[in-house]
Structure 1
Amino acid sequence: MSRQIYINGQFHAPDDAKISVYDHGLLYGDGVFEGMRIYDKKVFRLAEHLKRLDESACAINLQLPISLEQLAADTNETVAKNEIVDGYIRLIVTRGAGPLGLDPFKCSDPQVIIIADSITLYPESYYENGLELVTASTIRNHPAALSPRIKSLNYLNNILAKMEGLKAGCIEALMLNHKGEVAECTGDNLFVIKNGRLNTPPIEAGILEGVTRNAVLELAREAGIETTELPMTRHDIYVADECFLTGSAAEVIPAVTLDGRKIGDGKVGPITQQLNKAFRELVRR
């Protein structure tokens, strides 16, 4: 069937789904978004995603044009109309159209766009054998310039780091913050396991507070695994027993090398496997 794209309460075929070329989302990356997983026709942790969307919009002084309740209903309708069983949904809110120039207060009519489709971020072999990572020279945005907690339409910071990784032969790259500490990868949060303890960088390290990240922390605590959220350097990854990444699109995916060095024994570790299994069971519940 042909996909149906939601724009401001109406559905359009992909070729007919259009917004103004004067929209600030296109011209300046002025807007916010959420990427969400669909499992068995339901959006995983929709309320948490919408809360983060609302907070991102608030942080850039963008008033959502409809309520969160209506956004939830429209998101679910988009999933149903596209007959998605397992897939991915992208919810976007732009500043709207205005004259050329940066002034956001001259914009009107924010655009709400919802796209539901299938997604395969990484081949299955990476989930079985693990990712190879490289450290990017492009650092995470300085929090005093643009807060990494805002999930904005401007992802150029991440894209530049992603290109570094790809050119180095790695599908994902590690990003450091302005202090030289571990932040996150180009699209995923990062975890390490050392001596049975699970650690991930704190929000203050300049990361996006991932919905999947929080779900994995909950699962680990329920399983009796000690968890910490503390600053890390690359040394902590080099000497870790295990490492994995989390994200809505990526889910839980192991990493087995960083900068050409094996993490642990260079294989997917048992706690990573345990949490990956627990997460897959969670989303089906």
Structure 2
Amino acid sequence: MSRVIYINGEFFAPEDAKISVYDHGLLYGDGVFEGLRVYNHKVFRLQEHLLRLEESARAIGLALPISLEQLTEDTNATVAKNEISDGYIRMIITRGSGPLGLDPFTCSNPQVIIIADKITLYPDSYYENGLELVTASTIRNHPAALSPRIKSLNYLNNILAKMEGLKAGCIEALMLNHKGEVAECTGDNIFIVKNGKLNTPPIEAGILEGITRNAVLELAREAGIPTTEAPMTRHDIYIADECFLTGSAAEVIPAVKLDGRAIGDGNVGPVTQQLNQAFRELVRQ
């Protein structure tokens, strides 16, 4: 079937889904977004995503033009109209249109856009055999400049890091923070396993607090796997037994090599497999 795009309470064919070229979301990256997954016609952890969206908007002084209750209804309606049983949602709130110039207070009519479609982020072989990472020279946003917890439309530093990874023959790249500590990858959070213990960088490391990240931490604790959220360096990944990434689009995907060094024995580890299976069961509940 043909897709329809939600914009401000109406649905349009993709070729007719348009916003103003004067929208500051386009001109200056002034806006926020969320990426969500749909499983069995149900949006996974929709309320957690909407809360993060509202907090991101609030942090940049952008008032959502509709209530979270209405946004919940409209998101589910978009999924239904596109007959998405398993897929991906991109939800965008822009500052709205205004004259040229940075002043956000000149803008009016924030745009609410919801796209529901299929997504294939990584080939199946990467989930079975693991992917390779390379450390990017582009660092994560400095938290004193722009909080990494804001999921803004300005993703240029992530894109530059992604380009570094692709040019190095890796589909993902590791990003460090301003201290040289591990932050996250270009679109995913990162975990390591060492001696049966699970660790992931803390929020203070300059990461986005991922919805899938938090779900995996919950699953690990329920399974009795010791978990920590502590700073780590590349050295910790080099000597780890296992490594995997998490994200709404990526789900749980193993990483078996960083900067040409095998992680553990270079194969997908048992804890990664256990948590991947637990996550797949969770999203089908």
Q: TM-score, normalization: structure 2?
A: 1.00
Correspondence 1:274 to 2:274? yes
Mapping 1:232-251, distance limit 5 Å: 232-251=232-251
* In 2: Cα distance, 1:163 partner to 1:157 partner: 10
* In 2: Cα distance, 1:263 partner to 1:58 partner: 40
Instruction: State the Cα distance separating 1:281 from its structure 2 match.
Output: 0.2
SS in 2 for 1:163: helix
Instruction: State the Cα distance separating 1:267 from its structure 2 match.
Output: 0.2
Task: Spell out, residue by residue over 1:120-163, the C-alpha distance to the aligned partner (whole angstroms, 9 max, x if none).
Answer: 00000000000100000000010000110000000001000000
Q: Which residue of 2 aligns with 1:119?
A: 119
Q: Which residue of 2 aligns with 1:53?
A: 53
Instruction: State the Cα distance separating 1:186 from its structure 2 match.
Output: 0.1
Mapping 1:154-193, distance limit 5 Å: 154-193=154-193
Q: Which residue of 1 aligns with 2:231?
A: 231
Query: Structure 1 stretches (4+) deviating beyond 6 angstroms?
Result: none
Instruction: State the Cα distance separating 1:25 from its structure 2 match.
Output: 0.3
Q: Residue 90 of structure 1 aligns to which amino acid in structure 2?
A: R
Q: Residue 203 of structure 1 aligns to which amino acid in structure 2?
A: I
Q: Which residue of 1 aligns with 2:140?
A: 140
Q: Which residue of 2 aligns with 1:17?
A: 17
* In 2: Cα distance, 1:79 partner to 1:35 partner: 13
Instruction: State the Cα distance separating 1:34 from its structure 2 match.
Output: 0.3
Q: Residue 276 of structure 1 aligns to which amino acid in structure 2?
A: N
* In 2: Cα distance, 1:2 partner to 1:242 partner: 42
Task: Spell out, residue by residue over 1:66-119, the C-alpha distance to the aligned partner (whole angstroms, 9 max, x if none).
Answer: 000100100000000000000000000000000000000000000000000000
* In 2: Cα distance, 1:271 partner to 1:221 partner: 12
SS in 2 for 1:15: helix
Instruction: State the Cα distance separating 1:10 from its structure 2 match.
Output: 0.2
Mapping 1:69-88, distance limit 5 Å: 69-88=69-88
* In 1: Cα distance, 2:266 partner to 2:70 partner: 47
Task: Spell out, residue by residue over 1:233-267, the C-alpha distance to the aligned partner (whole angstroms, 9 max, x if none).
Answer: 00000000000000000000000000000000000
Q: Residue 24 of structure 1 aligns to which amino acid in structure 2?
A: H
Q: Residue 284 of structure 2 aligns to which amino acid in structure 1?
A: R
SS in 1 for 2:178: coil
Q: Residue 61 of structure 2 aligns to which amino acid in structure 1?
A: N
Q: TM-score, normalization: structure 1?
A: 1.00
* In 1: Cα distance, 2:29 partner to 2:131 partner: 30
Instruction: State the Cα distance separating 1:21 from its structure 2 match.
Output: 0.2
Q: Which residue of 2 aligns with 1:90?
A: 90
Q: Residue 93 of structure 1 aligns to which amino acid in structure 2?
A: I
Name the count of aligned residue pairs: 285
Correspondence 1:99 to 2:114? no
* In 2: Cα distance, 1:38 partner to 1:152 partner: 22
Instruction: State the Cα distance separating 1:63 from its structure 2 match.
Output: 0.3
Unaligned runs of 5+ in 1: none
Instruction: State the Cα distance separating 1:202 from its structure 2 match.
Output: 0.1
Q: Residue 11 of structure 2 aligns to which amino acid in structure 1?
A: F
Instruction: State the Cα distance separating 1:39 from its structure 2 match.
Output: 0.1
Q: Which residue of 2 aligns with 1:207?
A: 207
Instruction: State the Cα distance separating 1:223 from its structure 2 match.
Output: 0.1
Mapping 1:33-44, distance limit 5 Å: 33-44=33-44
SS in 2 for 1:160: helix
* In 2: Cα distance, 1:162 partner to 1:16 partner: 30
* In 2: Cα distance, 1:252 partner to 1:131 partner: 12
